[in-house]
A and B are shown apart, each in its own frame.
Chain A
Amino acid sequence: QVTLRESGPALVKPTQTLTLTCTFSGFSLSTSGMCVSWIRQPPGKALEWLALIDWDDDKYYSTSLKTRLTISKDTSKNQVVLTMTNMDPVDTATYYCARKLVVTDAFDIWGQGTMVTVSS
């Protein structure tokens, strides 16, 4: 059974750096074709793709946010970490991690999401 779970602070202050961890089970990110992505959703708004890391440690970022994002993985711990710098109230959202398979290019399994509020 494949599961993913996001963890991180519920509240961050403006200008701070957000660090989120995605802990997964049921698959290995060292297996060819496996990827993990981060996606966010502001309250009442649409999904927004943020970043992706693949089994070969290749990393891809949203064009509009790439200067603020860093994605990394710890294969031994089955974790993917996303950092976002210079947080702003508009970054208030539920942040999801999801598995993507290269063969289908779809996000087939999602975590439950973690709500992050940016406020002083």
Chain B
Amino acid sequence: QSALTQPASVSGSPGQSITISCTGTSSDVGGYNYVSWYQQHPGKAPKLMIYEVSNRPSGVSNRFSGSKSGNTASLTISGLQAEDEADYYCSSYTSSSTHVFGGGTKLTVL
């Protein structure tokens, strides 16, 4: 199972919006609405930010939103804040009943 494809890095200024893409295949991202997104600050465990493509867990800011089109899922963060600077990973369920993560995207808030 190959890792999902994410851009290595994205950046934005405070208050701006950014979008991180996550590209897979019809056997994972495109085949199921089971895409989730995780935020990871340095030295910390990942934190669930989005599940089932576009749902936010309780306590996650509504500045975070998710979507999917075909084999590509996206995470959008609006109103960027300094605290959003972190690594972001997407994950998908697969047709093999396994899970796969993306390569991760480093978000820099300028």
Contacts and interface: CB of A to CB of B under 8 A. Distances in A.
Contact of B98 (A49, A98, A108): A49
Contacts of B93: 105
Contact of B89 (A47, A61, A64): A47
Interface in A34-88: 37, 39, 46-49, 52, 60-64
Interface residues of A, number: 24
Contacts, number: 66
A106 B55 CA distance: 11
Interface string B23-62: 0000000001010101000000111100110010100000
Interface residues of B, number: 26
Contact of B34 (A52, A63, A64, A105): A105
B95 to A, nearest CB: 11
Contacts of B36: 104-107
Interface of A: 37, 39, 46-49, 52, 60-64, 96, 98, 104-113
13 contacts: A46-B103, A48-B3, A49-B98, A63-B1, A63-B98, A64-B1, A96-B45, A98-B46, A104-B36, A105-B52, A106-B36, A106-B91, A108-B48
